Amino acid sequence: MLTLNSITMEDQPVKPRRKSQFVIVARRLSQNSSAVIGFVVALLLALMAIFAPIIAPYPYQKQDLTHSRAAPSAQHIMGTDELGRDIFSRIVWGSRFSLSVGILAVLLGTAVGMVFGALAGYFGRVVDDIIMRFMDILQSIPGILLAITISVVLGPGLFNTLLALSFGGIPMACRLLRASILGIRHQEYLEAATSINASTTRIILKHVIPNTFSPLLVSSTMSIGNVIMMGAMLSFIGLGVQPPTPEWGSMISGGRGLIRTCPWMVTFPGLFIMLTVLALNLFGDGLRDALDPKLKK
């Protein structure tokens, strides 16, 4: 313990730390009220997903056929579906799947896209041509169609849905990173890094990507909302997460036949999808403004 302390003491310079980039961005974000609202709502949704077992009043699969198709009441604040399952509980549990599928699919797509984008942007020429033509092919297929096709091929299930949804994000991440790398490719500091003998991998990971990452961060945040919608859409047509696992899209799908008599079955899950997408988009917008040096005051 003592030795550890002495090391850190020596490591830190005496002077108080100056503001880091992260602090500056966080401060600028906090001044943007819609971004704060977006962040808070997204945070609440995430907390809801994490603490689902505590928050949900009923187990999500518990059927109560005597109370099926019940309208919202004190007992079931969002009503019940045709099998008498509590809709609020199912929404709470469903947030786990919707949010994790959205976030993980975007992370996966962005990561894969980043690898290709970095290679294409850094090496250029033939590598660039091959990778970008491949991305052209991938992008020429409409995103929804691509997700459906891959889902059908891979079959339903959480992991397969995740894969299917991540594919659509690859070309966008790849293009964005490549474009911003082209902007800095001939900067002298990359040449300087070569001249001090940094390896190509090191240059890409330590010098190129950190300098070109911020547009990607914004677009990824914004696309989480879209991917959640696509995930809901997949379950809606019966391809995504399978029942009885609650998922917002499949809940809407299950209730759509009764939309005239029991509108709560589709309204509440729909409302939550909308809320999530809106929150993430607001936050993404704010993040973009905060990261844009031209808007610095």
Helix (H) or strand (E) holding 24, with range, is helix 21-30
Three-state SS at 61: coil
Q: Is 6 in the site for another protein (CB under 8 A)?
A: no
Q: Is 210 in the site for another protein (CB under 8 A)?
A: yes
Which residues have CB under 8 Å from 233's CB, separation 6+? 144, 249
- Which residue number, 204 or 241, has a Cβ lying nearer to another protein? 204
Q: Which stretch binds another protein (CB under 8 A): 6-14, 88-96, 153-161, 243-251?
A: 6-14
- Which residue number, 13 or 261, has a Cβ lying nearer to another protein? 13
CB of 210 to another protein, least distance (A): 5
Enter the DSSP assignment of 276: H
**Tokens in use for 274?**
């909308």
- Beta carbons of 78 and 132 less than 8 angstroms apart: no
- Phi, psi dihedral angles at 80 (to 5 degrees): -130, 160
Cα separation of the two ends of the chain: 44
For another protein, the binding residue among 120, 193, 265, 273 (CB under 8 A) is 193
Q: Is 211 in the site for another protein (CB under 8 A)?
A: yes
Q: Which stretch binds another protein (CB under 8 A): 62-70, 143-151, 168-176, 186-194?
A: 186-194
CB of 178 to another protein, least distance (A): 18
- Beta carbons of 54 and 89 less than 8 angstroms apart: no
- Which residue number, 33 or 194, has a Cβ lying nearer to another protein? 194
**Tokens in use for 197?**
């003998």
Q: Is 149 in the site for another protein (CB under 8 A)?
A: no
Interface mask toward another protein for 112-131; x: CB under 8 A: -------------x------
For another protein, the binding residue among 3, 5, 6, 21 (CB under 8 A) is 21
By C-alpha distance, which of 179, 193, 173 is closest to 128? Answer: 179
Q: Is 3 in the site for another protein (CB under 8 A)?
A: no
Interface mask toward another protein for 255-284; x: CB under 8 A: ------------------------------
- Which residue number, 18 or 297, has a Cβ lying nearer to another protein? 18
Q: Is 188 in the site for another protein (CB under 8 A)?
A: yes
Q: What angle do CA 235, 240, 243 make, to 5 degrees?
A: 75
State the Cα–Cα distance between residues 134 and 149, nearest whole angstrom. 18
For another protein, the binding residue among 51, 65, 71, 191 (CB under 8 A) is 191
92-112 as b/e: b if 16+ CB within 10 A: bbbbbbbbebbbbbbebbbeb
Q: Is 15 in the site for another protein (CB under 8 A)?
A: yes
What's the count of helices (H) and strands (E) in the chain, helices before strands? 15, 0
Q: Which residues bind another protein (CB under 8 A)?
A: 7, 10-11, 13-15, 17-18, 21, 125, 187-189, 191-199, 206-207, 210-211
